[in-house]
Amino acid sequence: MNSEFIIFGLTCAVLGVLAVGAVLTPLWRGRAAQAAKDTDINIYRDQLLEVERDLARGVLDEAEAERTRTEISRRLLTADTNARADATGAPQKMSRAVAFTLAAALLTGTGLLYWELGAAGYGDVPRAERIAIAEERRANRPSQLEAEAESPEFDSISLAEPETAEILQALRAAAFERPDAVQGWAYLAQVEASIGNMQRAARAQERTIALLGDTVTEADYVRLLDFLVIGTQGYVSPEAETITVRILQNNPESTPALYYAGLLYAQNDRPDRAFNFWRNVVENGDKDTMYWNFAAGQISDVAAQLGMDYALPDQRGPTNADLEAAEDLSPEERQQMIQGMVGQLADRLASEGGPPQDWARLVSSLAILGEDETALTVFNEAEAIFGADIQAVQIVRRAAQDAGLTE
């Protein structure tokens, strides 16, 4: 057995005994003090009996005996009062039993807890070293195909509806007969995914992207990313990471890519980076997507690992859904509804500031109200505030462009 482990075990044992001693010592002292008080009471009682014997033998006259009895009785009363105040009787015995039980539970519980969670002999690991270990683990993690081999997929075609199964069989045959038909592969990927064949869907989508060449879109990559991750039960492989990076290079605001980037680092002991990606999603991303919901459901876990108590931001100011709902109202009602929400949003941004997403909402809302000059002023103000943050400026600028305020 390792000598360091023996020393560690002995140290834990000594500390445990000291902790138990700290609990039991006051009780032992209390019992000893109570015994001393009981002894004093017995002495005073014996003295009263002795006074009566001296009176009977004529050693004391009645007056002296009365004075002595009074003094001894006073002392006896004081001792009895003190003893009653400090005595616990049966409750003291119960407290002692409880103390012994708690002490035993403390030693047993801490021992079992350390046995389950502890790592005796594990040295101190500085932050830089932990990051290096995490990066090495990420660099050497299993590939997509290795991960798929660990969780082989059952071909769900036998469980599909007869019509779907027939279509799928025809698509598979057509795709391999015409390997350069982009639409065939794209449709095959969708149908495979619809019945849960994510690994097969990923292969078909990979072929689709290869055939699309320069015309491939972000949506095509996101679809492949979904298939790859779901096909490995949530694992972000190196191949999935490559696609994530490619999407973010073209669109740093991509909610799906930001979510998967956070998931990648959460799986590789980097809660700090996972938190940053997911915070971007929940504060600036599209709340109507599953990726926003996934990030919102997991960000508190990585925040807790960082010692943070993170709360999801409130949705303040008119949302896209609010603006769409306003279109169904009468012109007067629409104007009143939007003006109220826009006024609250403008007041808050003026007094407290806010993320670029809120500034973009204010620009869009003012444009809907026909207040183009005010919207342009707000846009210019946001550009000045976020001037050093290119990504934030892009969010507000896109809102201004959509509103027709800028080119």
Q: What is the DSSP string of 258-274?
A: HHHHHHHHHTTT-HHHH
**Does 93 share its domain with 183?**
no
**Does 342 share its domain with 300?**
no
In a domain, 132, yes or no: no
Q: SS3 helix, strand, coil % of the chain, rounded to 5?
A: 80, 0, 20
Using CA of residue 60, residue 63, residue 68, residue 69, what is the dihedral sign?
positive
d(CA 42, CA 46): 6
Residue 64 sits at the vertex; the CA angle it makes with 62 and 65, to the nearest 5 degrees, is 60
**Does 40 share its domain with 110?**
yes
The pLDDT score that the predictor gives to residue 245 is 95
In a domain, 343, yes or no: yes
pLDDT digits (tens, 9 = 90+) for 273-311: 999 999 999 988 877 778 888 898 899 899 998 888 888
In a domain, 361, yes or no: yes
CB environment 4-34: b (16+ within 10 A), e (fewer)? eeeeeeeebeeebeeebeeeeeebeebeeeb
**Counted domains in the chain:** 3
**Does 96 share its domain with 234?**
no
Q: Which two tokens stand for residue 234?
A: 């949530």
Angle in degrees, 0-180, between the axes of helices 271-284 and 290-305, rounded to the nearest 10 = 140
Domain of 382, in residue numbers: 320-402
Q: What's the CATH number where 188 sits? A: 1.25.40.10
Exposure of 387 by Cβ count < 10 A (0-12 exposed, 13-18 middle, 19+ buried)? exposed
64 or 38, which is more confident: 64
**Does 285 share its domain with 344?**
no
58 or 199, which is more confident: 199
pLDDT digits (tens, 9 = 90+) for 180-225: 989 999 999 888 888 888 899 999 999 999 999 999 999 999 999 9
